[in-house]
Structure 1
Amino acid sequence: MLSLTRLNRVRSMDAVNDTMIVEAGDTLLQAREQARAEGRVFPLQIGSQGSCQIGGNPSTNAGGTTVVRYGNMRDLVLGVEVVLPDGDVWDGLRALRKDNTGYDLKHLFIGGEGTLGIVTAAVLKLFPKPRSVTTAFLGFRSPDSALAFFTLLRQRVGQDVAAFELISSTALDLVLAHLATARSPLSLRAPWYVLVELASSRTPEDLENDFHEVMQEGLEDGSILDAAVAAAEAHAMAFWRIREEISDAQTRAGGSVRCDISVPLSKIPAFIEEACASVLKIAPDSRMVIYGHVGDGNVHFNPLRPVFESAADYLQRTSTAITTSVDAIAMAMNGSISAEHGVGVAKRDELLHVKSRVELEMAWRLKQAFDPKNLMNPGKFLPRLECVEALKS
């Protein structure tokens, strides 16, 4: 076991270069607050920001709700400091946006889940604080209509779309049932909801006018069933709390099969339709808890046990079949079986079915070159070498 909690300093802040060097034990929330104190934004935003640490964010290539505008952690890190398996320390803390001097080695450790080395510090990209923010909670008839609105919104306001989160009605109901203080932002019930946030350097009036114009088109053509726009920061925080509490509500309910997939944006409605049909054949009374970062193609597809069945019975009866089916549908659409939650142990052996032999062999060559004694996070991330070699036959 290795804890980097005490390695938690901000080593430097460069507001002109829009970078900060942060040690691995600093929490994401602390790093965001430290950037905010300098009038800057570090945009990575995930539900565990109060406990997850900066070292783990690049190691898992963390994503979250703002990937649609800012990208994953891979896009937000300029350099890393890493302790290698043999004890050497690589100082790759270069705060450069252009550096074509050979292999970009930092990307071996970003998303590597600690299997090649331990990230002890990172150079994080910062951004100017937005001049204006608009947050809204919208009701839609279907994922198709939500995706059409997203496309139109991007055409009108471009990169001002900072988040676009799809929420099924079942997911909203689950939050309302398990969070006593939560209230639906809309007076009408809709089959699907979207939490959208725009952030811009333009004036609040300009941003709001553009958004209201696009929203009005959606209301007039019937794709948007109802809408609520946050009039104050407290309203926006209430909208976001609903989204952020979905995972905890599932945990409280128990018996959720959690599938973290991504597909091309154009395939999202088809994926949801096919995956729902497949799950309901396996377990007809499942509750379809579906939500996620639709603006970047990431859907958390988490069928939940029926109210009359225990969590243990439901998971034992359906978990393997549901996961296999949902992952197969995602892969058939050129998707991924793990969009942002990583591989670890749970998805490790599934890679034998979704990755090519050549790709897995290259990964093992890297592992053996950096860590020949298999000291770093052994048993995680990569299927056993003998299983990979067996693919040749």
Structure 2
Amino acid sequence: MQNFINQLSQVLEKKYILTQDEDKAPYLTDWRKRFTGKAFAVLLPSTSNEVAAIVKLCAQYQIALVPQGGHTGFCGGATPDNSGKQVILNLKRMNQIREIDIANQTITLEAGCILQSAQEKAAENGYLFPLSLGAEGSCMIGGNLATNAGGTNVLRYGNTRDLCLGLEVVTAKGEIWNGIKGLRKDNTGYDLRDLFIGSEGTLGIITAAVMKLYPLPVSQWTTLVACENIASTIALLTLFQKRANSLLTGFEMMTRESLNLNEKHFPQMANPLQGNPPYTVLIELSDHESEEHVRQLLETILEDAFEKSIISDAVIASNLTQANSFWHMREHITLAQAEEGANLKHDITIPLSSLDSFIRETDELMREKFPGVRIINFGHLGDGNLHYNIAPPLGTDPKTFNETNEKLIHELVYGQVERCKGSISAEHGVGQLKLDDLRGHKGEVAHDLMKMLKTALDPQNILNPHKVVSI
């Protein structure tokens, strides 16, 4: 190992090679504090050439490395194992915005660029970078691409994959693939870009990307709407999709239980709707014409929904501050869960046509088998993505409850997901958390194809081993 470190010092300055326990500690535990590993060293490169040189050394010495960005993932994909023999490759120093091309409506970002910085740079130039996540103040573009992150704007703009036009990637051999092209049409064989997006650093290390920009909306209107059941929320979504079409940029669902938990830990975020209804829907319309146009459209659709008895109450934000407070309600649910204690999370996708039956039947099964359990269900209803999370009954020790029931609860929820032909990971990835569940979910053929890709692109298995798929 000393020879490895000696050669590393020819690539990085000593201060960017962290080997002391106190220096490595911030990089070893995931955001949820669910996974903690050990690492021989934490390396902090600042260029793609440095990344390539590090990977070549790792290949030479057969040392596995774990790529890491903002370390905000939920599935342990950027956390090392407990062997103490892996190195962490943190890309936070690769944080440059290389170029913004106004004519082409693209922005070229390095992997360590903070998402919020990209949003702000785009806005300074009169454009929108639409990827938006609760962790946008600390998550990084490389991690967003590696997990194909979703967020609140998927309904209109798609996942991170849909926003990406080109990549720069360091392969397992330490070679640099320069796919940095801002082309919307490039039909030249296999789409290598899509191999690496969503692969969680197991096939290559994303070091830069060309991302799409969109014109900034002239106006945005946000409303909170009360629904009595999930069927009504689906009917409301259909109504908005028909009437507002591409102007619909946000459609988020929050249950009464999730907002009760929110208010418990953040009293200033009480639901402004009367009676805190069973389902609260947050809706956002964005327009490039005028404020008056989108306001009138929003009011017309809501009036129609009232007349059809789809909704029972609605509050339209009167200014940006109030609109932000509506979004903060939604974004703070995850923080409220963290304050409450450990809970069992499920980041799932269900076809909208099956959403009503999934929630009704899964809720019933959960409460039957685990009396008093609290179901904290919320998510991006517009694209079918639920965060179907389970908190232990009040007065129950969370650690004991989770350790005793985690396997059975996951099996129950994932069984319902399979029944509805959904997905066990909508936007958080697989990491190490869902590694053992993937074969059953994907099926033997798909899982074996993934293993073949991993073996072909990383035959030494040095890139983030035992994440997503094991070989």
**TM-score where L is the length of structure 2:** 0.80
Hey, what's the Cα distance between the residues in 2 that align with 1:96 and 1:327?
38
Of 162, 182, 194, the residue aligned with 2:281 is 194
- 1:215 paired to 2:266: no
- 1:56 paired to 2:162: no
Q: Which residue of 2 aligns with 1:3?
A: 90
Hey, what's the Cα distance between the residues in 1 that align with 2:441 and 2:266?
38
Q: Which residue of 2 aligns with 1:142?
A: 229
Q: Which residue of 1 aligns with 2:435?
A: 348
- Greater Cα shift, 218-227 or 267-276: 218-227
Q: Which residue of 1 aligns with 2:312?
A: 225
Conservation of the 8 A alpha-carbon contact between 1:161 and 1:198: yes
Alignment of 1:79-94 (within 5 A): 79-94=166-181
Q: Which residue of 2 aligns with 1:249?
A: 336
**Runs of 4+ deviating beyond 4 Å:** none
> SS of the residue aligned with 1:115?
coil
Q: Which residue of 2 aligns with 1:126?
A: 213
Displacement of 1:195 in angstroms is 0.6
Conservation of the 8 A alpha-carbon contact between 1:282 and 1:318: no
Q: Which residue of 2 aligns with 1:362?
A: 449
> SS of the residue aligned with 2:200?
coil
Of 367, 383, 399, the residue aligned with 1:280 is 367
Hey, what's the Cα distance between the residues in 2 that align with 1:318 and 1:279?
11
Q: Which residue of 1 aligns with 2:125?
A: 38
Displacement of 1:125 in angstroms is 0.4
> SS of the residue aligned with 2:244?
helix
Conservation of the 8 A alpha-carbon contact between 1:282 and 1:321: no
Displacement of 1:23 in angstroms is 0.5
Conservation of the 8 A alpha-carbon contact between 1:166 and 1:195: yes
- 1:17 paired to 2:104: yes
Of 304, 308, 311, the residue aligned with 2:391 is 304
* RMSD, matched Cα: 1.0
Hey, what's the Cα distance between the residues in 1 that align with 2:334 and 2:463?
30
> SS of the residue aligned with 1:250?
helix
Hey, what's the Cα distance between the residues in 2 that align with 1:329 and 1:12?
46
Displacement of 1:275 in angstroms is 1.1
Hey, what's the Cα distance between the residues in 1 that align with 2:404 and 2:226?
34
Of 331, 334, 358, the residue aligned with 2:418 is 331
Of 242, 246, 255, the residue aligned with 1:155 is 242
- 1:69 paired to 2:159: no
Displacement of 1:255 in angstroms is 3.4
Q: Which residue of 1 aligns with 2:459?
A: 372
Displacement of 1:214 in angstroms is 1.1
Hey, what's the Cα distance between the residues in 2 that align with 1:308 and 1:183?
24
Residue identity in the other structure for 2:288: S
Q: Which residue of 1 aligns with 2:24?
A: none
Displacement of 1:181 in angstroms is 2.4
Displacement of 1:268 in angstroms is 1.1
**TM-score where L is the length of structure 1:** 0.96
Hey, what's the Cα distance between the residues in 2 that align with 1:138 and 1:189?
10
Hey, what's the Cα distance between the residues in 1 that align with 2:403 and 2:173?
42
Q: Which residue of 1 aligns with 2:66?
A: none
Superposed CA deviations along residues 295-331 of structure 1, whole A, max 9, x for unmatched, are: 0010110121111111112212322111111111111
Hey, what's the Cα distance between the residues in 1 that align with 2:247 and 2:418?
31
Residue identity in the other structure for 2:293: D
Conservation of the 8 A alpha-carbon contact between 1:31 and 1:42: yes
Superposed CA deviations along residues 54-88 of structure 1, whole A, max 9, x for unmatched, are: 11111000001110000000100000000111110
Q: Which residue of 2 aligns with 1:389?
A: none
Hey, what's the Cα distance between the residues in 2 that align with 1:343 and 1:274?
25
CA radius of gyration, larger in: 2
Hey, what's the Cα distance between the residues in 2 that align with 1:231 and 1:57?
33
Residue identity in the other structure for 1:160: L
Q: Which residue of 2 aligns with 1:237?
A: 324
Displacement of 1:289 in angstroms is 0.7
Hey, what's the Cα distance between the residues in 2 that align with 1:19 and 1:282?
51
> SS of the residue aligned with 1:349?
helix
Superposed CA deviations along residues 66-121 of structure 1, whole A, max 9, x for unmatched, are: 10000000100000000111110000001000001111100000000000111000
Residue identity in the other structure for 2:338: T
Displacement of 1:283 in angstroms is 0.7
Displacement of 1:362 in angstroms is 1.0
> SS of the residue aligned with 2:436?
coil
Displacement of 1:183 in angstroms is 2.5
Hey, what's the Cα distance between the residues in 2 that align with 1:317 and 1:349?
18
Superposed CA deviations along residues 175-229 of structure 1, whole A, max 9, x for unmatched, are: 1010132222223321110011111112111111111111012223332121110
Superposed CA deviations along residues 320-360 of structure 1, whole A, max 9, x for unmatched, are: 11111111111111100111111011101101211221111
Q: Which residue of 2 aligns with 1:168?
A: 255
Aligned residues between the structures: 384
Hey, what's the Cα distance between the residues in 2 that align with 1:189 and 1:49?
28
Hey, what's the Cα distance between the residues in 2 that align with 1:322 and 1:369?
36
Q: Which residue of 1 aligns with 2:265?
A: 178
Q: Which residue of 2 aligns with 1:388?
A: none
Of 113, 131, 151, the residue aligned with 1:26 is 113
> SS of the residue aligned with 1:55?
helix
Superposed CA deviations along residues 228-253 of structure 1, whole A, max 9, x for unmatched, are: 10000000000000000000101111
Hey, what's the Cα distance between the residues in 1 that align with 2:213 and 2:329?
27
> SS of the residue aligned with 1:335?
coil
Displacement of 1:172 in angstroms is 0.4
Of 293, 302, 326, the residue aligned with 2:380 is 293
